[in-house]
Structure 1
Amino acid sequence: MVAIQVLFNIALATVAYGAAIPNDISKRADDGQGFVALDFDVLRKPLNLTKALLHEKRNSISLSLINEGPSYAAKVSVGSNKQQQTVIIDTGSSDFWVVDSNAQCEDDVDCKSSGTFNPSSSSSYKSLGSEFAIQYGDGSTSEGTWGKDTVTINGVSITGQQLADVTQTSVEQGILGIGYASNEAVTDQYGNPTIQNYDNVPVTLKKQGKINTNAYSLYLNSPTAESGTIIFGGVDNAKYSGKLISEQVTQSNQLTISLASINVKGSSYSFGQDVLLDSGTTLTFFPSDFAAELANQVGAELRQVGEGKTLYFIDCNTDTSGSTTFSFGNGASISVPNSEYVYPNGDGTCIWGIQASRDTILGDNFLRHAYLLYNLDANTISIAQVKYTSSSSISAV
């Protein structure tokens, strides 16, 4: 999820439950190798035109995840008594927060359905007495209190981890942000500092010796796959073709790199701006002028879908042969099949897979075709064309 960025939450109208990652990978735990593999199942929600999400912003521990449309939800536990939580793993934000057992859910949101936390039942919980508050771009908010406790991920525990115990929220479930610590929510709703920047979960994993490097690699698998993998502190060298090419992160608090150009249906368009690589986004988003150029090339049309909201639609029978190629500043190049840009809407119309936004985000319809290694210590994101395979060759970063 990205904090304070505009995106539409659009997912395919299919539901898939996953086959497991091969046993030799999914059963690995922290054994001194410096990485832990984390597998997930895919769950795709029905396409929803009216729901707009704005996110401000998101080695190897193995556990099950569930893809929540543009997000991945993992089971972790908090406290001395290991209270289970299902939280969104988010590359676009940086804070870990859970829903208190007495929390007030706002806006008809069932915020307690994915597990709650009772701090009084954990002997290792320590309240810090400072206010936690975060607001996402769609206006959804969470408020609570900062504290510290033991966090357990697939049997691997880190102690004294700072987290927020949320007592009021309009978000459906807790979030495990794994982005830069510099992007943490350390101010109140008015922008006043409430606490200093701290070691978030990836930093703590490294400092407590569970991973060697604050890094993680992402493999979403094929568009129809039922499972994929994220590896904290490691990289699976069997999951990509050619070489991983390192692109420099271009912002101090977000995982952005420079996109040089895009080739669409034989025409090349120079871009030369930052793009956010965000696993919490389903589609691809560009500034309105650039999105309009691409739309004109493919025949997509802008239509009103609600008061003050517009989306690009495309002919469901459009030719989807060939690929769109994304070229990055340091030479990395990823080809994405044009079939990724036609999303049936269930009423005979189709959504175009590239939409207009204030910000530029390459979401899941791009990320499925790239293997990515986010290295927050080196401030790089390494990219290669993905290879869909059950083979695995993991090494620590």
Structure 2
Amino acid sequence: MRWHTISVTILCLLQWKSNGELTRPRREGDTRVVQLSLQRSKVQDPVARDRQRIMRRSGTVQAELDNLRTLYFFNASLGNPPQELRLHLDTGSSDLWVNTAGSSFCKSSNEACDVSGTYTANSSSTYEYINSRFNISYVDGSSAQGDYATDSFRFGDISIDDFQFGIGYKSSSQQGILGIGYPENEVQVARSGERPYENLPTRLLADKHIGTNAYSIWLDDINSTTGSLLFGGVDKSQYRGNLVTVPVQKVGSSYREFFITMTGLDAGSKSIANDMALAVLLDTGSSLTYLPNDLATSVYQAVNATWFERSQLAIIPCDQALSDDSITFHFSKPASISVQLRELVLPVVSANGRSPKLDDGRRACLFGIFPSGKGARVLGDTFLRSAYVVYDIANNEVSLAQSNFDAKPSGSNVVEIGAGKNQLPDATVAPTPVAAKSGLPVSGGAATSSPLKWKHLGLTFILMLVSSASKGF
């Protein structure tokens, strides 16, 4: 593989470490790897976050990167002197967005934004105002508005001057977001029809920190405190077998989001669907996986889960986590990802620490696949934990392999992705890719009825679940 021609190539590796400290990796040749620790924080009510915070996918910014067990975040800073932030990564949006201490949400409670941090423009000597057209609309009617600005952005050993981001003076979320999707999905593009600016992946390429606009994500299993995001490269120790490359599907006439074609679904040895050509969205910012109603119902029947219409919850006996069964998602051959059932069984507890019970006395857990209704079909964190995914914006491709849950930092094998086509190490290109025939948004964003309206809502889910447990949910 040909290395980037600049004298020093930087692969930006954001890797999870439980101590949350920045470490210096080894150097090989003229390649420098910047390793930044990510941390993992439990959320109290993640499903509700999904229900409240998802915005219209017409170019507006999503809220948080979390799954049913945790929030995924890393530390960064904006401004001079640096103002420390805890940011959530999101492949489904494309803007960096932060709260200001005086925002409507942060002022609603003395500690509402203490953990995630806030940004004060007047406290930075390098702040520059752009305009006041940063505007996020949510399906539930809530919104966030504020300014676009530029300032110095730092994470790990990387420092980027004049980096564009949004400031939320009115908001409904305490979490800062770092969207790393297609520039065409930026707020100013879809809302105002402006040209895209250089968001983080694009800027890292422009500043010659990476050789191509691509990154890989490994979330590891449901109980792990490890995972990584690697800009410009892959870690071959974090997946099994070879990566399989499939094309991203266009939304209208352009590439905006990471839709790929799902062709089949198995539950254990039983085929639930085949010969499909369904567009599904890979979205790390969505806690759950959302499938067409009929597919979700078939999965429930196969794994002994139940959908409760009144409470809009999928419930499964917690002891199903002991099963060796798996759900297999098929894409353009030979791409497929198997998700073990234990990765889909999500424990919940009440405020007093008790677990809700089913009528037969068994503990009740949440099941990580929900029906999508009329909205977009989404493969969220309950799927993505089992997959190693390469998001190749430069070539409009996604590559998938089975996650290696046994990967250790000491055994990492980071390889740069070269510029151009077919530069991904040890990847097999799907020889006969299937084009999606259904499931794509009608216009530039997903339908406003998307199940992602469940995304990032600070749910009263635990209270709902406990109070409903004795009433058949």
Specify the TM-score bucket, using the shorter chain as the normaliser: 0.7 to 0.9
Aligned to 1:386: 403
**Structure 1: any 5+ residue segments left out of the alignment?**
1-16, 59-64
CA distance in 2, matches of 1:30, 1:122: 34
Shift of 1:49: 5.7
What secondary structure sits across from 1:294 in the alignment? helix
Do structure 1's residue 126 and structure 2's residue 128 form an aligned pair?
yes
1:183 corresponds to which of 172, 182, 185 = 185
Structure 1, 101-110 or 329-338: larger mean CA deviation? 101-110
What secondary structure sits across from 2:103 in the alignment? strand
Structure 1, 338-347 or 207-216: larger mean CA deviation? 338-347
CA distance in 2, matches of 1:316, 1:394: 37
Shift of 1:208: 0.9
2:116 corresponds to which of 93, 114, 117 = 114
What secondary structure sits across from 1:104 in the alignment? coil
1:353 corresponds to which of 368, 376, 379 = 368
Shift of 1:136: 3.2
- Aligned residues of 1:217 and 1:231 also touching (Cα < 8 A): yes
Pairs within 5 Å for 1:249-260: 249-251=248-250, 252-260=255-263
- Aligned residues of 1:38 and 1:231 also touching (Cα < 8 A): no
Pairs within 5 Å for 1:138-153: 138-153=140-155
Shift of 1:182: 0.4
Shift of 1:342: 2.4
**Matching residue's letter, 2:74:** A
Aligned to 2:244: 245
Structure 1, 113-122 or 32-41: larger mean CA deviation? 32-41
Do structure 1's residue 27 and structure 2's residue 24 form an aligned pair?
yes
Shift of 1:192: 5.5
What secondary structure sits across from 2:257 in the alignment? coil
CA distance in 1, matches of 2:27, 2:152: 16
Pairs within 5 Å for 1:1-397: 19=18, 26-28=23-25, 33=31, 36-46=34-44, 50-51=48-49, 52-56=51-55, 57=57, 69=69, 71-105=71-105, 108=108, 110-186=112-188, 193=192, 195-251=194-250, 252-268=255-271, 269-270=273-274, 271-306=276-311, 310-318=312-320, 320-345=323-348, 346-348=355-357, 349-357=364-372, 358-387=375-404, 388-390=406-408, 391-397=411-417
**Structure 2: any 5+ residue segments left out of the alignment?**
1-15, 60-64, 349-354, 358-363, 418-473
Shift of 1:66: 9.3
Aligned to 2:444: none
Shift of 1:170: 0.6
What secondary structure sits across from 2:297 in the alignment? helix
Percent identical among aligned pairs is 31
Structure 1, 83-92 or 289-298: larger mean CA deviation? 289-298
Shift of 1:337: 1.1
CA distance in 2, matches of 1:90, 1:246: 21
CA distance in 1, matches of 2:196, 2:313: 38
CA distance in 2, matches of 1:161, 1:100: 17
What secondary structure sits across from 1:172 in the alignment? coil
- Aligned residues of 1:344 and 1:350 also touching (Cα < 8 A): yes
What secondary structure sits across from 1:238 in the alignment? helix
Query: TM-score normalised to the size of structure 2?
Result: 0.71
Give 1 or 2: higher strand fraction.
Answer: 1
Shift of 1:344: 3.3
- Aligned residues of 1:38 and 1:230 also touching (Cα < 8 A): no
Aligned length: 367
**Matching residue's letter, 1:104:** S
**Matching residue's letter, 1:77:** S
**Matching residue's letter, 1:367:** L
Structure 1, 252-261 or 345-354: larger mean CA deviation? 345-354
Shift of 1:177: 0.5
* Partner deviation per Cα, 1:122-178 (whole Å, 9 max, x = no partner): 222110133210123344422111111111111311111111122111111221110
- Aligned residues of 1:106 and 1:168 also touching (Cα < 8 A): no
CA distance in 1, matches of 2:93, 2:257: 8
- Aligned residues of 2:99 and 2:174 also touching (Cα < 8 A): no
Greater relative contact order structure (CA < 8 Å, 6+ sep): 2
- Aligned residues of 1:70 and 1:279 also touching (Cα < 8 A): no
Query: TM-score normalised to the size of structure 1?
Result: 0.83
- Aligned residues of 1:326 and 1:333 also touching (Cα < 8 A): yes
CA distance in 1, matches of 2:89, 2:73: 6
Structure number with larger C-alpha Rg: 2
What secondary structure sits across from 2:85 in the alignment? strand
CA distance in 1, matches of 2:341, 2:68: 23
* Distance of aligned partners of 1:320 and 1:138 in 2 relative to their CA distance in 1, 3 Å threshold: farther
Aligned to 1:6: none
CA distance in 2, matches of 1:168, 1:205: 29
CA distance in 1, matches of 2:142, 2:33: 34
**Matching residue's letter, 1:379:** N
